[in-house]
Chains A and B, each alone.
Chain A
Amino acid sequence: MMKKVKKLVNDFSLGELRTGLKVTSKEFVNKKITVQFPEERTPISPRFRGLHALRRYPNGEERCIACKLCEAVCPANAITIDSEMREDGTRRTTQYDIDLFKCIFCGFCEEACPVDAIVETHIFDYAFESREGSVIDKKGLLEIGDKNESAINKAREEDSKYR
């Protein structure tokens, strides 16, 4: 009986509307947290796993040695590598493809890499213009690496104390 009366009073005095308006008015004066993407960006953890990149050593030599451990560990079979003996006798890739449609961004490739060649950057806002565009080849991956080397380096450094 009491419950029914309480509900009637609440309904006729627009109780729920008031509760809602309370939140609205509170947020109206609070500090805004909406981010104006892409002009503004949310902070990202140094461990964030985004688009892949192949890195180089400071002297410009590519790091990847075609050991194919990333290919072996990849749970989605997204990586395809072909290797050869380069003229100077070192082991290098002739092909390094990642299919981003297959990739599940688990980061195993990065974990497996003995020379920190394949890494996942903080880039997540990328798009393809064609279906085939989902496969990035060695050249593309190295370009991403070259462009973002400082960011990649910084993220590794920030994370290094927890590794």
Chain B
Amino acid sequence: MSEIEIEIDGNLVKAKQGDSIIKIADREGIEVPRFCYHKKLSVAANCRMCLVDVEGAPKAQPACSTPVANGMKVHTKNDKAKFAQKAVMEFLLINHPLDCPICDQGGECELQDVAMEYGSDVSKFNEGKRIVPDKGIGALIQTDMTRCIHCTRCVRFGAEVAGIVEMGGTGRGEGVKIEPFLTEGIQSELSGNMIDVCPVGALTSKPFRYEARTWQMNAVPSVARHDLVGSNIITQSYRGKVKRVVARDNDSINETWISDRDRFSYEGLSHESRALKPKVKIDGEWQEVEWQEALDFTIDGIKNNAKNPEQLGVLASKYSSLEEYFLMQKLARSFGSDNIDFRIDQSDLSDGGSLESSITLSEIESIDHALIVGSYTRLEQPMINHRIRKAVLNGASVNTINSKQFDFNFNTELDLLSAPQKILSTLHAILKSLHLKIGTDVPKYLSKVIPDDVHNKIADDLIASKNGVIVLGEHLNSNPSSSAITNLIFQIAQITDLKIANLMLSGNSHAAERVGFMPTKNGMNAISMFNENTRVFMLMDVDCDYDFINLQSAADCFNNEDVFVVSMSSFENESLHTNANVILPMASYYEASGTHINFDGLVQSFSASVKSPGDSKPGWKIIKVLADLLELEGFDYINSTQVKDEALQSSKLKSSFDDVNAEIDDSQITTHWQYAPYATDSVSRRAKALQESNIGMINSAFVSKSTAKRLDINGDDLYLGVPVSITDAVAEDYVFVHTNQARRVEGG
């Protein structure tokens, strides 16, 4: 578009044809008051607050919806503009209640700020004010719709970004109400952003309600760690406790949005089950002790139980920081053990880890086709899903291969339902179809495969795509042949020259992979570790109730009398008390400095926002001291930055994967236990409001009619303790358990 020149408040500035006045003014740092305009949402021009004087126009023009033209002269602060703005302000304040002292928005309220400048000190309005009854919209957002000024930012956010048309304006004139159409509340994984976009106190954070005033809190920039995106956030703490998390702008990562999981999980940090003091188990009794005693007990336990170094096993969850992973594997390797793993919820570890993605987050926005395999990206990786949605709105097509039909917030062209045990054969068929269509030699093992129309259509779309991506999701983790599947997908991507977005392991798994937190030589992995050769376990942030794919074999091993289990954990629970011998309280999210690595390899460091509660200490410090006490060399770190530098310098450990050709009996009924998005890590599981939200309460076992008949279950039964829902939107011979409860029984 051509460059033109306009004049704002006497300054000559360059602009692009078609840009709005407010966009240019924002760029030039000229303040124009606004309520309904938001840089990431469409223009509504309904608040009229941004009226400015354009020379030649008889009336003041809204800056947000007036495109600039060459030679235009705009005045934002002359009498005509000010008069118009003040008049609008007066109208807006007619119905706005004067309850700023009890409003949580008070102090950060756009209306308050603008009223300071443009409002009159006395109201001429003596009639009754409008009162709007509230309809609750869920456990996360508090509504006070009397305060609403009808800017419709929340409505537009819902329709344009979250992809849910659940809020809207009803009624006319004075009677207009912004309200949800349904009574169940807002069902979106991004709903919390409505709080951020609301310029007044009509939508505020429910868990934060009346907790603190905005000006009292200490704001520290940080990075969210629940998914593979590392959304940039600001933690706001008051008296040493995180009270609120809000989004921090970063166009290349999270734009201005963050997921609800990132926003509301902080509540879990002050859960009653926090581990606050070191504890040791002596003769089956737990005792609170001082750090020194606990550390000595730990060292004695490790030395006495591990007859040789290889009897040490180290396990961690996916949500630790780069520093913690690095030091932990360094400790284990210096000690002489290669039994290290973080993939504790994967059922197939035969390929040595290939988490690499060949696409960056912002590139996803411009794809023309996506094939999603084994993922409900919308709930699992909300920010990545948001980018895919943007691409779809720009014309990209999406096919999915999932075991259940998911409610994506964009249109998918083709949803292929395939039970986990059949995904491999499905991919074989697609691969064969691709070979046939491209004209390359069909490998021998595909000779018996016969692709059908659906496979051909998926293959066609893949071939037609110039700039597409194949998304691997976390449902593949628990697939018994996940290595073969990833292998196949990499082959498909290679043939079709498409990119890969590997979202199989969430959290900070890419940091764990980067520092080699998995066996590299001949060490045991997270599945083979549970045998009589491992006598000492060190667990880092592992919840024995939830995290292991095979809970029973882990518990059996931990409960062995001559097995010593050291648990570094931020939380305590019954199973930890049963399984562990020592609990070393560890700092949780926002309480220690660390580093997060995104799925596309972006490294982001953050500092601690608050001090960790009680006697708990940052994980990297605990590991450093343990290493010192074990008299290991090379742990002379003073701060976590040194650890990070060393970790990132160390070469990335790569391991090749074998050509796996798994033979599966695909006639059996399989069960897939998929955690609901707010049950993935120990902090969100303890966040009260998240758990009470609609998405947090997901707890259903989906099964098709014929499979239900084969399993002899009815709609009101429980399957493995989870309520059954009989539906056609799920693959045959398969039960999809989507739940916030701890895993009960493994598939099969």
Name the segment of A6-14, A83-91, A136-144 touching the other chain: A83-91
Q: How far is the CB of A92 from chain B (nearest CB, A)?
A: 8
Q: Say which residue of A69, A71, A84 sits within 8 Å of B210 (CB atoms).
A: A84
B439 CB within 8 Å of chain A: no
- Does B216 sit within 8 A of A, measured CB to CB? yes
User: What 1/0 flags go to A70-103 for Cβ under 8 Å of B?
Assistant: 0110000000000111000011000000000000
| B101 contacts A65, C-beta separation under 8 Å | yes
Which residue on A lies nearest to B106, using beta carbons?
A: A67
A115 within 8 A of B: yes
CA distance A128 to B516 in the complex (A): 64
Alpha-carbon gap, A106 to B101, bound state (A):
21
Given A65-B101, A67-B102, A67-B106, also A83-B210 (CB < 8 A): yes
Known: A65-B101, A65-B102, A67-B102. A91 touches B210 (CB 8 A): yes
Contact of A67 among B101, B209, B211 (CB under 8 A): B101
Least CB distance, A108 to chain B, in whole angstroms: 16
| Contact with B209, one of A65, A69, A85, A114 (Cβ below 8 angstroms) | A85
Count of A-B residue pairs with CB < 8 Å: 27
- Near A by CB (< 8 A), chain B positions 591-623 give none
Nearest residue (CB) in B for A92 is B210
The answer for the CA separation of A68 and B102 in the assembled complex, in Å, is 9
Contact A69 B101 (CB under 8 A): yes
Contacting residues, chain B, for A84 (C-beta < 8 A): 210
Q: Give A115 to B99 CA distance when docked, in angstroms.
A: 11
User: Could you tell me if A85 and B210 are in contact, using CB atoms closer than 8 angstroms?
Assistant: yes
* Chain B residues near A53 (CB-CB < 8 A): none
B212 surroundings in chain A (CB, below 8 A): 83
Q: Are B210 and A114 in contact, CB atoms less than 8 angstroms apart?
A: no
Which of chain B's residues has its CB closest to A80's CB? B239
B738 in contact (CB, < 8 A): no
How close is A115's CB to chain B, nearest CB, in angstroms?
7
Residues of A contacting B211 in the complex (Cβ-Cβ under 8 angstroms): 83
Q: For this complex, into which size category does the number of interface residues on chain B fall?
A: 10 to 19
Q: Chain B 193-215, CB within 8 Å of chain A: the 1/0 string?
A: 00000000000000001111101
Closest partner residue, chain B, to A65 (CB atom)? B102
Contact of A91 among B102, B215, B216 (CB under 8 A): B102
CB pair B213–A72 under 8 Å, yes or no, is yes
Task: Tell yes or no: A109 within 8 A of B by CB.
Answer: no
Smallest CB separation, A72 vs chain B (Å):
6
Which residue of chain B is the closest to A114 with respect to CB atoms?
B101
B205 smallest CB distance to A (angstroms): 12
Q: List, in ascending order, chain B residues with CB within 8 A of A71's CB.
A: 216
- The winner among B100, B211, B212, B213 for most chain A CB atoms within 10 A is B213
A84 to B216, CA, bound (A): 15
A71 to B101, CA, bound (A): 12
Bitwise, B98-109 to A at CB < 8 A (1) or not (0) is 001110001000
**Mask: chain B, 208-230; 1 = CB below 8 Å from A; 0 = not:** 01111101100000000000000
Nearest CB of chain B from residue A93's CB, rounded to whole Å: 10
User: Whose C-beta in chain A lies nearest to the C-beta of B107?
Assistant: A72
Interface contact B216-A68, CB-CB below 8 Å? yes
In the complex, how many angstroms separate the beta carbon of A68 from the nearest chain B beta carbon?
A: 5
- By a beta-carbon cutoff of 8 Å, the part of chain B in contact with chain A is 100-102, 106, 209-213, 215-216
Q: List 5 A-B contacts (CB under 8 A).
A: A67-B213, A68-B213, A71-B216, A83-B212, A85-B210
| 14 new A-B contacts at CB < 8 Å, known A67-B102, A71-B216, A83-B212 | A65-B101, A65-B102, A66-B102, A69-B101, A72-B213, A72-B215, A72-B216, A83-B210, A85-B209, A90-B102, A91-B102, A91-B210, A114-B101, A115-B101
